Amino acid sequence: MKRAVITGIGAITPIGNSVNDFWKNLVNGTSGADIITKFDTTNFKTKFACEVKNFDPAQHMERQEARKMDLYTQYAIAAADECIKDSGLDVNTVDRSKIGVIVATGIGGLQTLEDEIVNYINGGCIPRFSPFFITKMIANIATGQISIRYGFQGISYTISSACASSNNAISNALDLIRLGRANIILAGGSEASITPASIGGFNSMKALSTLNESPVTASRPFDKTRDGFVAGEGAGILMIEELEHALKRGARIYCELAGYGAASDAYHVAATHPEGQGAVMAMNEALSDAGISPDSVDYINAHATSTPVGDISECIAIEKVFMNSLSKINISATKSMTGHLLGAAGAIEAIACIKAIENAIIPPTINFEERDPNLNKLLDFTPLKAINKQVNVALNNTFGFGGHTSTTVFKRFKH
């Protein structure tokens, strides 16, 4: 069976518009949360989020081109640009028919949709819409724009499975590489859903934190006082490459994408199973697919959104899967710093796993002040400060509305 390795990474996040800045701020425990600047939140219950800061699409494309794209597509292109540059790939000397793109999103071009509807209503219900409305808004278009930009003619599609979306995109890429259907796949996710409809909708579900007096401490996974997730935005793109293809072109290899697991809670549209059934299945399947025993895992980047119920169910699942090796595993919730990037969460958290392996550093869970007494005391959440630790195997968990569960396994590369 063919093997897949990671040869490039790119990121646009609330704590850095490059992988280096993102990683530096993760290790330093920097929060990306602040008062929302994208719209007036006067009448909203939640007034803060983890916005991307100082993003200039003109650094990546012509301004006229940017006007034809929703922000989520702009983020995806910026992350893809960095990923390709990081990989050292000369796109003019490779078979572009064997390069695919799978960029996931949970929501797609929501801001474009909102803007067009508002313009329609304010225009007296005259059906005058931008000719770019549909091609800015549809969920697949970030994938399409990246393929067009680079002339990649291989497999190209989008996955939408809520907050599991980009982890599923990475998983699909692994299967396609294994099957020989592609030499390279750019996989990941992008989201730009800090909009009135999104914040208002999640507020109505009582899913968001309302700690308006202290945004930087609002995302507090595993803490006794957590009260909901903090919305985030951005994109993460990974170059997933067939091993022999990477070796032949002399690529730098970060690590191996060793396996994945996916399942469904089949329980509730918005809540994870209280006993973590889908999560247990996904983690067990991922370990089996990678040929790795539970006691070989060094680090888990938890889904851990900072919701009262979700964090507990994930921890119960981790206990079940790693019951004999809990004491040797470090867990961290990088959403404590980035907020929840929804469909892009799995991609930037995969990058956190990759960098943890590369640098032998585990990023912390910040804002962890008082442990939830319902959580097993053996679970090490890497509180407040990053630690130095050799990481040979890292797991990345993502769970989405609708019961979607997905786990990917990254391991130190050995020929």
How big is the chain by its Cα radius of gyration, in Å? Answer: 20
pTM of the model: 0.97
Q: Is residue 325 part of a domain?
A: yes
Q: Is 128's pLDDT higher than 90? A: no
Q: What is the pLDDT of residue 351?
A: 98
In tens, the pLDDT along 163-214 reads: 999 999 999 999 999 999 999 999 999 999 999 999 999 999 999 999 999 9
Whether 340 sits among the annotated catalytic residues: the reply is: yes
Mean pLDDT to the nearest integer, 11-28: 98
Residue-number span of the structural domain to which 305 is assigned: 259-411
Q: Is residue 121 part of a domain?
A: yes
Q: What is the pLDDT of residue 125?
A: 72
State the amino acid at position 252 in one-letter form: R
Q: Please identify, among 225, 248, 271, the residue that sits at the C-terminal boundary of a domain.
A: 248
Cβ 277 vs Cβ 265: under 8 Å: yes
Q: What is the pLDDT of residue 199?
A: 98
Whether 415 sits among the annotated catalytic residues: the reply is: no
Buried b (16+ CB within 10 A) or exposed e, 321-331: bbeeebeebbb
Q: Is residue 75 part of a domain?
A: yes
Written as six digits, the tokens of 69 are 């794209």
User: Rounded distance, CA 4 to CA 338, Å?
Assistant: 27
Place of tokens 């921890």: 315
The CATH number given to whatever domain includes residue 16 is 3.40.47.10
pLDDT band at 266 (very low <50, low <70, confident <90, very high): very high
pLDDT band at 415 (very low <50, low <70, confident <90, very high): confident
pLDDT band at 126 (very low <50, low <70, confident <90, very high): confident
Cβ 39 vs Cβ 192: under 8 Å: no
Say how many domains are in the chain: 2
Residues 231 and 284 in one domain: no
Q: Is residue 191 part of a domain?
A: yes
Residues 390 and 264 in one domain: yes
Residues 52 and 160 in one domain: yes
Q: What number of other Cβ atoms are within 10 A of residue 229's Cβ?
A: 25
Residues 296 and 365 in one domain: yes
Whether 303 sits among the annotated catalytic residues: the reply is: yes
Q: What percent of the chain has pLDDT over 90?
A: 96
| C-alpha count within 13 angstroms, C-beta hemisphere, residue 338 | 38
Q: Is residue 226 part of a domain?
A: yes
Residue 361 β-bridge partners: 388
Choosing from 163, 255, 315, 353, which is the catalytic residue?
Answer: 163
Q: Is residue 253 part of a domain?
A: no
Residues 283 and 220 in one domain: no
Written as six digits, the tokens of 10 are 């790119």
Q: What is the pLDDT of residue 377?
A: 93
In tens, the pLDDT along 304-359 reads: 999 999 999 999 999 999 999 999 999 999 999 999 999 999 999 999 999 999 99
Choosing from 60, 245, 273, 340, which is the catalytic residue?
Answer: 340
Choosing from 303, 315, 353, 404, which is the catalytic residue?
Answer: 303
The C-alpha angle 260, 262, 266, rounded to 5 degrees, equals: 165
